[in-house]
Amino acid sequence: MREIVLDTETTGLNPTSGHRVVEIGAVEICNLIPTGRSFHVYLDPERDMPEDAFKVHGLSGAFLAGQKKFSEIAGRLLDFFEDSQLVIHNAEFDIRFLNAELTLADLPCIGMERAIDTLAMARRRHPGAPNSLDALCARYRIDTSRREKHGALLDASLLAEVYAELMGGRQAAFSLQSVGVATVNAGGDLLRHRHQPLAGRLTPAELEAHRNLVSGLGKTPIWKRYESDE
């Protein structure tokens, strides 16, 4: 299942007070695994940067003044979203800001039914405990050493790992079917498959015990399909 993990940075807390989106980061995941596709952009808010907001994300008005405006990237953003669910920490905040930007660009708003709020998920799973992104990363031992300030793409990547933990881990299903699945490590890096498989570790006695067990499962047990031709 395809989902988009999303984070934004803004000039403030309320779009109705004239605050704008200044950074968008989004990561594509499929069955909880990052695919390597992402969307990232800095935006010119067409206004000043309050000091309180600058302290959070470190994006100055001077830096953002040369960036694209939301209306210029809105089409690419919506194309990246497609019709996928959006995974967001405190979804109401980000959806409200995105919808304010979409309204200014004369584009349809995003319905809240498309959002999966990981903050609400965390509060149900860990009632009474701190459930900020930093707190959840610490709880699940996710490395945040790269995170000196808030950044939309990095925070979306961290949230993808948190979301996988909230969903019970990345092994979403058990299947005996042989399929080509990309393997990633905890940092999201693609791992190469071995050119030659590791040597078997079962002893002859253990193999014989397994064959005896399978032979008692009936005439056509499913395990027969996966036995090697030794």
150 catalytic? Reply is: yes
| SS3 call for 175 | coil
Place of tokens 């903050």: 119
Residues in the chain: 230
| SS3 call for 153 | helix
CA distance 28 to 32: 9
Place of tokens 């309050």: 50
Q: Are 32 and 163 in contact (CB under 8 A)?
A: yes
Catalytic residue from among 40, 150, 193, 210 = 150
Q: Are 87 and 118 in contact (CB under 8 A)?
A: yes
Token couple for 169: 């881990």
Q: Are 131 and 123 in contact (CB under 8 A)?
A: yes
* DSSP character string of 92-144: HHHHHHHHHHHHHTT-PPPPGGGEEEHHHHHHHHSTTS--SHHHHHHHTT---
Token couple for 191: 């791992």
Which active-site residues does the annotation give? 150
